[in-house]
């Protein structure tokens, strides 16, 4: 079950990951902030995705690791899938 609030909460995390991928798509390990702790938006979005996918994730992920998990879990949950 999803509601508008879930989509609004997770949108900042999706934008952060998309912005870092950018047109040149740098390796996540080379991001300037890639080794910083994940953002509050990423933590919230990952919590939602993990619950829906039945996954458990460490609490101390970096921004880069969080984006990798978000990319991996979105298709499993049907969230973030382009529905054009």
Instruction: Name the residue among 45, 29, 21 with its Cα closest to residue 55.
Output: 45
Its sign, for the CA torsion 19, 21, 22, 27, is positive
pLDDT, tens digit, for every residue of 20-33?
A: 555 555 565 566 66
Classify residue 70 by burial, with Cβ atoms within 10 Å: 0-12, 13-18, 19+.
buried
pTM, 2 dp: 0.62
| Cα–Cα distance list, 81 to 37, 39, 49, 75 (Å) | 26, 22, 13, 6
| Residue 84 pLDDT > 60 | no
Q: What is the DSSP letter of 59?
A: S
Domain boundaries, given as residue ranges, for the chain: 4-77
pLDDT, tens digit, for every residue of 38-64?
A: 999 999 999 999 999 999 999 999 988
């Amino acid at each position: 079950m999803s509601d508008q609030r879930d989509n609004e909460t997770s949108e900042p995390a999706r934008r952060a990951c998309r912005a870092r991928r950018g047109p040149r798509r740098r390796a996540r390990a080379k991001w300037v902030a890639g080794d910083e702790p994940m953002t509050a938006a990423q933590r919230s979005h990952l919590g939602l995705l993990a619950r829906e996918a039945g996954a458990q994730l460490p609490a101390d992920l970096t921004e880069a690791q969080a984006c990798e998990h978000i990319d991996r879990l979105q298709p499993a949950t049907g969230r973030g899938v382009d529905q054009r």
